[in-house]
């Protein structure tokens, strides 16, 4: 091998060694940067003296000074913001700014029955109060429309995008009058309700009762039962589901009345006694 060939061979060896050194140093630099980036801060001398309970309490109190507003539907509260807390996931329900009933009763009006009030209030997100509390007996007098929670504008059918996320529209009935369909929450009634609310503190029991009767004159004595809408077949359903724009798949889900059966069957909900210390568990045979 000539001197020239030897020199060329040595250069190739050095090049290969240099490449390996460059790759190795790059790897070490990356590891060092990642270690520094994700390095856990060392505990201070005070923290080292703390017990596990004290450390846990300190961790729990972090961020308490941060405040955030949460819309509960019927009121807005301001309390400490705790990151990733499962009760406050940032998916706030859309407040109904237009419904006349909501202006007095709030977005979550059902509170009497502890067993099913959550089930009923869930429906309040996409059904107007009038839909269940004004029962229309004749099918020919039934007409339902969707209204915007923001401005009250009406639409006959909702698009598929309107079903996603929080509902921005709610279903409500129209009143049949001499061949025409009109809104129950007329401008005249709205004006009366606003005036009534202002003078309510000064009214006596008799006048207050008369005013409430005028406001609720269209309200049925009993609301539409759950089973009337969640019926076995589409023809038996109280609401014209197809006409208001529900898809075939969604109609099938609504007509599946397992939840209604549960509500009817379990009129009494039994909670394990470990959640009620000191109370004797009632007999199921009563």
What are the pLDDT digits (tens) for 208-229? Answer: 999 999 999 999 989 998 889 8
Question: What is the reported pLDDT for 275?
Answer: 47
What is the dihedral angle through the alpha carbons of 115, 116, 121, 124, rounded to the nearest 10 degrees?
-170
Exposure string of 208-238, with b = 16+ CB inside 10 Å and e = fewer, is eeebeeebeeebeeebbebbebbbeebeebb
Per-residue confidence at 22, pLDDT binned at 50, 70, 90? confident
Query: How high does pLDDT run on average in the chain?
Result: 77
Q: What is the pTM of this model?
A: 0.60
Structure tokens given for 282: 């009632």
Question: What is the reported pLDDT for 216?
Answer: 93
112-158 confidence digits (pLDDT tens)? 777 678 788 888 888 999 999 999 999 999 999 999 998 889 988 87
What is the dihedral angle through the alpha carbons of 256, 257, 262, 265, rounded to the nearest 10 degrees?
-140
> Is 266's pLDDT higher than 50?
yes
Name the more confident of 107 and 258: 107
Per-residue confidence at 86, pLDDT binned at 50, 70, 90? very low
23-36 confidence digits (pLDDT tens)? 888 888 887 777 66
């Amino acid at each position: 091998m000539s001197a020239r060939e030897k020199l060329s061979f040595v250069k190739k060896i050095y090049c290969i060694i240099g490449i390996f050194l460059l790759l190795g140093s790059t790897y070490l630099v990356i590891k060092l940067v990642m270690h520094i980036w994700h390095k856990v801060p060392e505990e201070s001398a005070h923290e080292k003296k703390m017990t596990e309970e004290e450390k846990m309490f300190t961790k729990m109190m972090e961020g308490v000074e941060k405040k955030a507003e949460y819309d509960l539907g019927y009121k807005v509260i301001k309390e400490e913001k705790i990151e990733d807390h499962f009760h406050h996931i940032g998916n706030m329900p859309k407040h109904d700014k237009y419904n006349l009933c909501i202006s007095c009763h709030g977005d979550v009006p059902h509170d009497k029955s502890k067993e099913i009030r959550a089930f009923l209030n869930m429906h309040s997100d996409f059904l107007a109060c009038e839909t269940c509390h004004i029962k229309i007996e004749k099918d020919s007098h039934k007409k339902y429309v969707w209204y915007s929670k923001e401005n009250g504008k009406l639409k006959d059918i909702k698009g598929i995008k309107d079903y996603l996320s929080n509902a921005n529209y709610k279903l409500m009935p129209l009143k049949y009058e001499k061949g025409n369909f009109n809104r129950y929450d007329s401008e005249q009634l709205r004006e009366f309700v606003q005036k009534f609310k202002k003078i309510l503190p000064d009214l006596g029991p008799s006048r207050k009762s008369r005013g409430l009767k005028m406001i609720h004159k269209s309200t049925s004595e009993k609301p539409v039962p759950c089973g009337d809408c969640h019926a076995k077949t589409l023809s038996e359903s109280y609401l014209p589901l197809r006409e208001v724009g529900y898809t075939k798949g969604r109609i099938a889900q609504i007509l599946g009345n397992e939840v209604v059966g549960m509500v009817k069957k379990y009129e009494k909900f039994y909670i394990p006694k470990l959640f009620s210390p000191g109370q004797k568990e009632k007999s199921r045979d009563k």
